Amino acid sequence: MELYDAIFYRRTTRKYSNKKVTVELLEEIKRVCNNITYLNQDLNIKAHVVERGHIVHFLQGKNCKVKAPHYLIITSTKGEDYLENIGFAIEEIVLNLTTLGIATCWLESNLKREDILEFVDLDEEVVQDEEVEEELNLEQPCIMVAFGYPGESEQLLRRDKAKIDRKKLRYICKKASRKNIKIINAIRFSPSVKNCQPWVLYNDDDSLHLYEDKQKKNLREMSKISMGIGLRHIDISCKKHAIPVTYEKVKYKKKIGKEYYISIILK
């Protein structure tokens, strides 16, 4: 299975088998995590493989809603569009895991930097003062991905990609040109917080302008990560269909209830 196919058949898995992923496969997952890409190169985004899931269970406590044998803890410095860049970077890992037969689930995290220092390799030295940490812009845990083998009642892949609770294309991109439909369709299958599907595209001759439907305060950070996930799906689709693109910030029209993110320039 290719990454493009994984977009349409991946399912979010919330119940996992206790069976651990093999050592060989964990090494392959670590290799994938060491080769992530994202748009803002001033950031420092990392995906840390936590083999012993019980550590995360303990640290999360009652907030551990999904118990898996393994996790990815995602850390990042802060900067322009850092949450969107996290979504863009890590969705490629998630889809790679799908192609390897591994189930996944995006998860919010309440972990702090000091919680993970003993088992996650961060670049910077230990700093005790939170205000100093913020001023230095050190790596902070931002989100997690649970992974492993699906439980007995769970399926790894979606059997029928037509049966999915997603907005129709006409609600995502009004007046979409025929040549762009095949790349826009990929964003429909993106996972999003509370299935809010925040992406809205506006089409012109050579560009797609990506906006975010503004969300309630408690969903805003995860919604921005969802935006990055959606952009990664478009990126993979463009590569699949041999459509060269660049991503740029341009002068944009303000839209009521929406926030401009980025433009996809089709070459």
Query: 222, 201 in Cβ contact below 8 A?
Result: no
Name the phi and psi angles at 202, rounded to 5. Answer: -120, 130
| pLDDT number for residue 76 | 96
Which residues have C-beta within 8 Å of that of residue 103, sequence separation ≥ 6? 11, 13, 16, 97, 147, 148, 149, 150, 154, 156
Coil, strand or helix: which one is 243? Answer: coil
Phi, psi of 50 (to 5 degrees): -105, 105
The pTM of the full predicted model, rounded to 2 decimals, is 0.92
Domain 3-148 has CATH 3.40.109.10: yes
Query: pLDDT of 62-93, one tens digit each?
Result: 888 899 999 999 999 999 999 999 999 999 99
Distance between CA atoms of residues 86 and 80, nearest Å: 11
DSSP 97-148: HHHTT-EEEEEE----HHHHTTTS--SSPP---HHHHHHHT--EEEEEEEEE
Please state which of the four CATH numbers 3.40.30.10, 3.40.109.30, 3.40.50.720, 3.30.420.590 is assigned to the domain occupying 169-266: 3.40.109.30
Query: 163-215: per-residue pLDDT in tens?
Result: 788 888 888 987 777 778 888 899 999 999 999 999 999 988 789 999 999 99
Domains of the chain, residue spans:
3-148, 169-266
Same fold across 3-148 and 169-266:
yes
| Torsion sign across C-alpha atoms 87, 150, 194, 175 | positive
Q: How confident is the model at residue 5 (pLDDT cuts 50, 70, 90)?
A: very high
| Region of residue 226 (left: phi > 0; alpha: psi -120 to 50; beta: else) | alpha
